C-alpha cells in the first residue's frame, strides 16, 4: 500500500533518472491526458523535476517546443497511487514486471511506466496552484520544511475525532497511511479510538514526532539507486521480513512486547483496517 515514504522515494528515484532529460514518447490510455498531448505535445518537452506532496506525485515538464495552446506552457502530471498504483523505471528493451501501463513516458535512457493509477491529470501552473486536494494538504511529514506546530494545530482542530481517523486525515498532516497509523499508535501506547481532545499536548507531540521518524527512516536511501521503492517497511529493530512490523497485519498473533493477542477491527469514518494491542494500548474511552 503506497504511503508517504513510498511516494517520496518513488519521486526521488524518478527525479534522479528523468530530470533534465527530454521526453521522446508519451502514451496513455487516459483520454484526458492524451487530449492535452494532442493539443500541446508532451514529446520534446524537458522533464524539470519530480516531487512528492503527501501521497501525490508531481512530474513537471517544461513548455512545449512549439507553443500553440493554453497548455503549451509548463505542466505538471499529478498522480495519486490510491491503494495499489505504482511507478516503475525500465531501461529500453528491459522486461517489465507488469504488462499494461496506464501511462508511459520515455526519454533516451529510461522509460517511466505507471501501473494501477486511477487519479491522474495534467495541470498548468494556475490549476496546480489552485488544486483543491493539494491546497488542502496539511504539513508533509517528509518535507524539508515540515511544520510540526502547524500539524499539531490542525490535529487539535479535529477535536473529538478518534486519533486513528485523525492520523489518516491528509488535511491535518500529509503522508500517514494505514500501516504507519497502526504502528505509530502502538509505539506511543494509544488506543486507536482515543479522541484527539483526550490526548495531552505532550503525547500528541510525541505521536507526531514518532510518525515523522518512522516515515523518514523508511524513506532513506532515496536517490541512491535507480529502482522505485519496493522494499519492506521496518518499524521494529528486527531485520527478518516477518518481524519488521509491530502490529500491522498481525491480527490474532501475539504482541511482540507483551504476548497478548493483537486485535483487528475495521473502524472509523472510512472503515479502515486497524491493528492494536489491547494490553499495551488499553481503551480508556
Domains and CATH numbers, the chain: 4-136 (3.20.190.10), 148-276 (1.10.8.50)
- pLDDT in the model for residue 224: 45
Predicted TM-score (pTM) of the model is 0.88
Query: Do residues 266 and 278 make contact, with C-beta atoms less than 8 angstroms apart?
Result: no
Phi then psi for 274, rounded to 5 degrees?
-135, 140
| DSSP-based helix, strand, coil % in the chain, nearest 5 | 30, 20, 50
CA pair distance 268, 178, nearest whole angstrom? 12
Could you report how far apart the first and last alpha carbons of the chain are, in Å?
30
| Ordered per-residue pLDDT tens for the chain, 285 residues | 578 888 999 999 999 999 999 999 999 999 999 999 998 999 999 999 999 999 899 999 999 887 667 788 999 999 998 878 899 999 999 988 777 899 999 999 999 999 988 899 999 999 999 999 999 999 999 999 999 999 999 999 999 999 999 999 999 999 999 999 999 999 999 999 999 999 999 999 999 999 999 999 988 754 444 455 455 788 998 878 888 999 999 999 999 999 999 999 998 777 788 999 999 999 987
pLDDT reported for residue 1:
56
Dihedral-angle region of residue 36 (phi above 0 means left; psi in -120 to 50 means alpha; beta otherwise): alpha
Question: Taking a C-beta distance cutoff of 8 angstroms, is the pair 174, 139 a contact?
Answer: yes
Q: Which residues are catalytic?
A: 2-3, 55
Q: What is the pLDDT of residue 142?
A: 94
Q: Which three three-digit cell numbers place residue 99?
A: 504488462
Amino acid at each position: 500500500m503506497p504511503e508517504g515514504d513510498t511516494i517520496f522515494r518513488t519521486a526521488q528515484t524518478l527525479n534522479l533518472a528523468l530530470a533534465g532529460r527530454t521526453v521522446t514518447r508519451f502514451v496513455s490510455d487516459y483520454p484526458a491526458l492524451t487530449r492535452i498531448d494532442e493539443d500541446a505535445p508532451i514529446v520534446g518537452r524537458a522533464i524539470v523535476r519530480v516531487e512528492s506532496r503527501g501521497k501525490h506525485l508531481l512530474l513537471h515538464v517544461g513548455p512545449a517546443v512549439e507553443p500553440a495552446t493554453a497548455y503549451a506552457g509548463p505542466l505538471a502530471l499529478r498522480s495519486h497511487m490510491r491503494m495499489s498504483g505504482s511507478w516503475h523505471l525500465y531501461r529500453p528493451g528491459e522486461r517489465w514486471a507488469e504488462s499494461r501501463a496506464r501511462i508511459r513516458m520515455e526519454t533516451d535512457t529510461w522509460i517511466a511506466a505507471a501501473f494501477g493509477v486511477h487519479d491522474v491529470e495534467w495541470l498548468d501552473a494556475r490549476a496546480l496552484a489552485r488544486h483543491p486536494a493539494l491546497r488542502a494538504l496539511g504539513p508533509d511529514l517528509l518535507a524539508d520544511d515540515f511544520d510540526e506546530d502547524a500539524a499539531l494545530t490542525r490535529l487539535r482542530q479535529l477535536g473529538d475525532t478518534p486519533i486513528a481517523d485523525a492520523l489518516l486525515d491528509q488535511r491535518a498532516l500529509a503522508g500517514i497511511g494505514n500501516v504507519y497509523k497502526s504502528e505509530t499508535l502502538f509505539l506511543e501506547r494509544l488506543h486507536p479510538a482515543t479522541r484527539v481532545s483526550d490526548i495531552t499536548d505532550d503525547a500528541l507531540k510525541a505521536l507526531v514526532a514518532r510518525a515523522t521518524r518512522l516515515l523518514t527512516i523508511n524513506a532513506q536511501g532515496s536517490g541512491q539507486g535507480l529502482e522505485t521503492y519496493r522494499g519492506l517497511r521496518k518499524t521494529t529493530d528486527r531485520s527478518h521480513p516477518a518481524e519488521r512490523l509491530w502490529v500491522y497485519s498481525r491480527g490474532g498473533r501475539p504482541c511482540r512486547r507483551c504476548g497478548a493477542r493483537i486485535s483487528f477491527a475495521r473502524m472509523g469514518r472510512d472503515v479502515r483496517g486497524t491493528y492494536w494491542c489491547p494490553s499495551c494500548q488499553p481503551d480508556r474511552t
